[in-house]
Structure 1
């Protein structure tokens, strides 16, 4: 807070704005003291009106100073106002232009919540933009022309930060802590000196340092690096080409299965959607849910990632457990003891209870 105020007071346009307000206040007060009864100044508002009109050199002429002191004040206000308004207007225009240039160059901090953050960029980024319904922030060392192309070819709300996703300051500017999801793509080999999977690992470590609880999906190139990425905190790891291999393997089973899976993945619309379960729906079984939602095709049940805290496993009636909790609270130590990973149950049994699930993946009719 203190740092933000210091930065604000260091801005030229802010100093000029304060001086402008000070000039209006002092000039109005002096005019009110010097001119009562002579020009019909009955309250401070009329004095303020005269000052604003005089400073901006509009000069309506409805209020004219009658005393010598009032006229001298008018001359001072006009001369000061002409220069001040010109400088203030120029600085404001410069500030707005600078902000626009910074936004185009990917140097401006975003102000979002519940968005998607894409770290690094490759050709798969285009598909993510087509499918997502969230505002997107891209953090990558992109060329200006490429980002302009991205903006031109997508109707989504897209923001860009030009820099290394490994650096914490860029992640903070992207409001990573407030994001709904982060996706780390494998970087273009031609633009880096290290191994792509190593770059991904460094980025993941930076993400987990800043936002330990948000879901992070990671793309890597080499299968042998998957275990390292998972240990570093990735929720899900996709190996480049793995999905393609699995898809092609379905040809040996049936060409119809291959065609179905291919169309499902490459459809221009979002065939697969997610529906959060209401309190009433959580009381149902899978069979009852399907019978009550015939307008959709339910496919799977989902459990979100959840953390288990010490207070959830301790007994409130046990003095020892209360003592343990008090020690943790007094030391200010995080009392998280474990976490439950996201889970998807595909085509569950009809009698499966929905009580422990959070959402349903379904396919809408087209």
Structure 2
């Protein structure tokens, strides 16, 4: 029973650790035996272990040498067993390292970190997003879940890749969804807009089912699926079609301006910040609040009142309770 228990535990240990334990046991055994056989040449067990390591590794410093016939026989057995074990351990270690790197690039390795950002779907948008995140914070941890890419080298893209279906709990758990800080779900541009939205909503449901509190940002292509995405658990809905249509409208009717470049550079250098009006700003004119916030490095762009967005209002407009201030601030602040 004890032997069966030993086999049950021993053979479940990873092979590298199992080899290392075996080598240590062999070295300790031979070092102890040689100490008792030739106590004059090997005064302590530690001296015997040192000799066993040097002999098993075929280094042969010669500072400790067995002189008796039995001692030399033990030395020969050690060379044949210990040397083989060490060589096999080094070979296995190298093979395991290469295999682990291959598994990483093929998206087979589970992620063990926390406070990471999960990107769902690999396309040009997520690639640019990845670059911007790492430029803003070089230490940011990013995990990508995608089933269209079969391999992704860490040397080219410094992110942890999980190859699989993001609607499957198994792959979400491999990405350590419960410890992530945020999820960004990008629409699959290989599919039609309706199919892409259905996939994004299904992914949102799966993510929310595994983590009730994580912020989920979802890209939705068609306006009639926005409510479904919110019901599924999305916190933020991105509508690229509406955004691009507004830019195209600006480009068609622009007057000595570059709307697209203006928005891109604004988003590059500034981050938007919304917050409800505080007591000190209630009944204050818009201009006074603008100046006060500017001293705090916030640029007041407008307000949201009764779900209506008002940009660049009259400077005498009095702010009221429940107004939401729309501001921008530098990424450096």
Q: Is the shorter-chain TM-score for this pair beyond 0.5, marking a shared fold?
A: yes
Equivalents in 2 of 1:101, 1:89: separation in Å? 19
Q: Unpaired runs of 5+ in structure 2?
A: 1-7, 135-139, 282-288, 303-309
Aligned 8 A contact 1:182 1:214 in 2: yes
More moved, 121-130 vs 244-253: 244-253
Residues 1:26 and 2:29 are matched in the alignment: yes
Q: Deviations over 1:280-313 (max 9, x none)?
A: xx9x98766642x4xx554589xxxxxxxxxxxx
Q: Unpaired runs of 5+ in structure 1?
A: 276-281, 302-344
Equivalents in 2 of 1:144, 1:7: separation in Å? 35
102 and 130 in structure 1: CA distance in 2 versus 1, 3 angstrom threshold = same
116 and 364 in structure 1: CA distance in 2 versus 1, 3 angstrom threshold = closer
Residues 1:211 and 2:178 are matched in the alignment: no
Q: Partner of 1:16: helix, strand, or coil?
A: helix
Name 2:4's counterpart in structure 1: none
59 and 297 in structure 1: CA distance in 2 versus 1, 3 angstrom threshold = same
Equivalents in 2 of 1:106, 1:273: separation in Å? 33
> Among residues 269, 272, 275, which one is paired with 1:271 in the alignment?
269
Name 1:60's counterpart in structure 2: 61
How far residue 50 of structure 1 moved from its aligned partner, in angstroms, is 0.5
Q: Partner of 1:9: helix, strand, or coil?
A: coil
Equivalents in 1 of 2:52, 2:118: separation in Å? 50
Normalised by the length of structure 2, the TM-score is: 0.74
More moved, 130-139 vs 220-229: 130-139
> Among residues 133, 146, 152, which one is paired with 1:140 in the alignment?
146
More moved, 59-68 vs 262-271: 262-271
Name 2:128's counterpart in structure 1: 127
62 and 139 in structure 1: CA distance in 2 versus 1, 3 angstrom threshold = same
How far residue 52 of structure 1 moved from its aligned partner, in angstroms, is 0.3
Aligned 8 A contact 1:139 1:164 in 2: yes
Normalised by the length of structure 1, the TM-score is: 0.68
125 and 33 in structure 1: CA distance in 2 versus 1, 3 angstrom threshold = same
The count of residues paired between Structure 1 and Structure 2 equals: 293
